A and B are shown apart, each in its own frame.
Chain A
Amino acid sequence: MKRVLDYIVENRVLFLLVLFVALFVVFAVSVPGFFTFYNLTNMTQYGVELGLLALAEMLVILSGGGGIDLSVGSMLTIVAMIIGVLIGRVGLNPSLSILLGLFAGAGMGYLNGVLVSYTGILPFIVTLASLYIYKSLALIIAVDPRFGPNPMPVSNFPESFYFVGQYRIAGIPFQVLCIFIPVILLLWLLLEKSIFGRYLYGVGSNEKAALFSGINVCRVRVTVYTLSGILSALSGWIITSRIASARPDIGTGYELQAITIAVLGGVSIKGGEGSIGGVVLGIAIITLLYNGMQLAGIHQIWQLGSLGVVLVGSVLLNQVLLARRKI
Chain B
Amino acid sequence: MEYILECRKIFKSFGGVQALRGVDFTLRSGEVHALVGENGAGKSTLIKIISGALLPDRGDIFYMGQPVRIDSPRKAQEIGISTVYQEPLVYSELSVLENIFLGREIRTPWGNIDWKREEEQARSLFASLGLPHHFLREPMGELSVGLQQLVLIAKALVYEAKVIIFDEPTAILTEHETERLFTIIRKLRDQGVGIIYISHRLEEIFRIADRVTVMRDGEVRGEFPITAVDRAKIVELMAGKLLVEEIARRGVKGDHPLLSVQGLTRRPRFFDISFDLFPGEILGFFGLVGSGRTDVAQTIFGLFRPESGKVFFDGREVSFGSPEEAMQAGIAYLPEDRKVQGLFPIQSVAYNISVTVLRELVRRLGIVDVRKERDIAEKHIRELNIKTPNLKTRVYSLSGGNQQKVVLAKWLSVTPKLLILDEPTRGIDVASKSEIHNLIAHLADQGLAVMMISSELPEILKMSDRVVVMHEGRITGVFEGPEKTAENIIRAATGERMAVAGGVGV
B-contacting residues of A (Cβ < 8 Å)? 189, 193-196, 198-199, 201-202, 205-206, 208-216, 272-273
Contacts and interface: CB of A to CB of B under 8 A. Distances in A.
Contacts of B358: 195, 198-199
A205 B343 CA distance: 9
Contact of A215 (B324, B340, B361): B324
Contacts of B367: 189, 193-195
B22 interface: no
B346 interface: yes
A202 B345 contact: no
Q: Please classify the interface of chain A as helix (H, G, I), strand (E, B), loop, or mixed, using the class held by over half of its residues.
A: helix
B341 A216 contact: no
**Top 8 A-B pairs ranked by shortest CB distance?**
A214-B327, A214-B324, A194-B366, A214-B323, A205-B344, A195-B358, A212-B341, A206-B344
B89 interface: no
Contacts of A272: 344, 346-347
Contacts of A193: 367-368, 370
Nearest to A210: B344
A208 B338 CA distance: 11
Interface of B: 303, 322-324, 326-328, 333, 335, 340-347, 351, 355-356, 358-359, 361-362, 365-368, 370, 410
A273 B394 CA distance: 12
Given A189-B367, A212-B333, A205 B345 contact: yes
Contacts of A189: 367
Contacts of B361: 195
A195 B341 contact: no
B341 to A, nearest CB: 5
Nearest to A198: B358
A212 B323 contact: yes
Nearest to B323: A214
A185 to B, nearest CB: 13
A212 B420 CA distance: 12
A213 B356 contact: yes
17 contacts: A193-B367, A194-B367, A194-B368, A195-B359, A195-B366, A198-B355, A201-B344, A206-B344, A210-B344, A211-B323, A212-B323, A212-B341, A213-B323, A213-B356, A214-B326, A214-B328, A272-B347
Contacts of A213: 323, 355-356, 410
A320 B177 CA distance: 56
Contacts of B356: 213-214
Nearest to B332: A214
Contacts of B347: 201-202, 205, 272
A253 B188 CA distance: 63
A66 B201 CA distance: 42
A216 B343 CA distance: 16
A274 to B, nearest CB: 11
Given A202-B355, A208-B340, A195 B362 contact: yes
A209 B341 contact: yes
A192 to B, nearest CB: 9
A209 B342 contact: yes
B451 to A, nearest CB: 16
Contacts of A196: 366
Contact of B341 (A198, A199, A202, A208): A208
A216 B344 CA distance: 15
A87 to B, nearest CB: 33
A107 B385 CA distance: 49
A195 B344 contact: no
A209 B324 contact: no
Given A214-B328, A272-B344, 8 more contacts: A189-B367, A195-B361, A195-B362, A205-B345, A205-B346, A214-B327, A272-B346, A273-B346
A206 B394 CA distance: 14
Nearest to B342: A209
A195 B351 CA distance: 11
B345 to A, nearest CB: 7
B358 to A, nearest CB: 5
Contacts of B322: 214, 216
A230 to B, nearest CB: 17
Contacts of A215: 324, 355
A209 B340 contact: yes
A201 B343 CA distance: 12
Nearest to B298: A212
A214 B355 CA distance: 9
Nearest to A189: B367
B237 to A, nearest CB: 39
Contacts of A208: 340-341
A199 B365 CA distance: 15
Contacts of B340: 206, 208-209
B164 to A, nearest CB: 36
A16 to B, nearest CB: 20
Contacts of B333: 212
A189 B323 CA distance: 27
A206 B352 CA distance: 11
A195 B347 CA distance: 15
Nearest to A194: B366
Given A208-B340, A209-B344, A195 B323 contact: no
Given A195-B362, A209-B340, A216 B324 contact: yes
Nearest to B356: A213
A212 B366 contact: no
Contacts of A198: 351, 355, 358, 368
B349 to A, nearest CB: 14
A199 B326 CA distance: 18
Contacts of A205: 344-347
B416 to A, nearest CB: 11
Nearest to A206: B344
Nearest to A201: B347
A63 B347 CA distance: 14
A195 B322 CA distance: 19
Contacts of B346: 205, 272-273
B234 to A, nearest CB: 38
Contacts of A194: 365-368
A198 to B, nearest CB: 6
Contacts of A209: 340-344
Contacts of A202: 344, 347, 351, 355
A153 B297 CA distance: 61
A196 B358 CA distance: 10
A233 B340 CA distance: 37
Contacts of B365: 194
B351 A212 contact: no
Contact of A195 (B335, B342, B345, B368): B368
A196 B362 CA distance: 11
Contacts of B366: 194-196
A312 to B, nearest CB: 24
Nearest to B334: A212
Nearest to B328: A214
Nearest to A270: B346
A198 B323 CA distance: 18
Contacts of A273: 346
For A195, A202, A214, the residue with the greatest tally of chain B CB atoms inside 10 Å of its CB is A214
A203 B367 CA distance: 18
A203 to B, nearest CB: 9
B476 to A, nearest CB: 28
